Amino acid sequence: MGFGPKWLGWMWSCLSSAKFLVLVNGVPAGFFPSTKGLRQGDPLSPYLFVMGMEVLDVLIRRVVEGGFLSGCSIRGGRRSNLNISHLFFADDTVVFCEASKEHLTRLSWILFWFEAAS
C-alpha cells in the first residue's frame, strides 16, 4: 500500500485543522485551534493505529527472518510446524521469543525502533 504526497497532505490537514468551541454558561465563547495530534474518538485514530502496527509487524518479521529472534513453534498434526513470533489483536500485542538475554535485548531494540518510528 503506497501513501503518496496527496494522501499524506490530506492526513496532515485532518491532524492540524481541528478547532474547538468553548461554551461558557451555554453560550459560545469562541473557537481555538488544536495544537497536538488527534482528538479522542476521532474516526481517523484506528487507521493510524493500524498503520503504526504495520511498522511493528515489519520490524519483528525482519528480525525473525534474519534468525535474531525466535518465535513459538506449534505442531499442526500432519502439517508442518507453524512458527508464531507475534500476535496483534485490537490494541494488544503478544511477542513470543526465547527467554534469553540476547533475545530480550533484541526485542528491546525492536521496541526502541518502533518508538522512534511512531
Q: Which long-range contacts (CB under 8 A, 24 or more apart) does 107-115 make?
A: 107/69, 110/56, 110/59, 110/60, 110/63, 110/69, 113/59, 114/55, 114/56, 114/59
pLDDT at site 107: 92
pLDDT at site 60: 93
pLDDT at site 14: 61
**Rounded to the nearest 5°, which phi and psi values hold at 29?**
-110, 5
Chunked into runs of 10 residues, the chain (118 residues) has average pLDDT values of 59 63 78 65 76 89 91 79 85 87 93 86
pLDDT at site 9: 66
Q: At 43, which amino acid appears?
A: P
Q: Closest Cα to residue 58, out of 1, 114, 102?
A: 114
As a whole number of angstroms, the distance between CA 106 and CA 28 comes to 53
pLDDT at site 74: 83
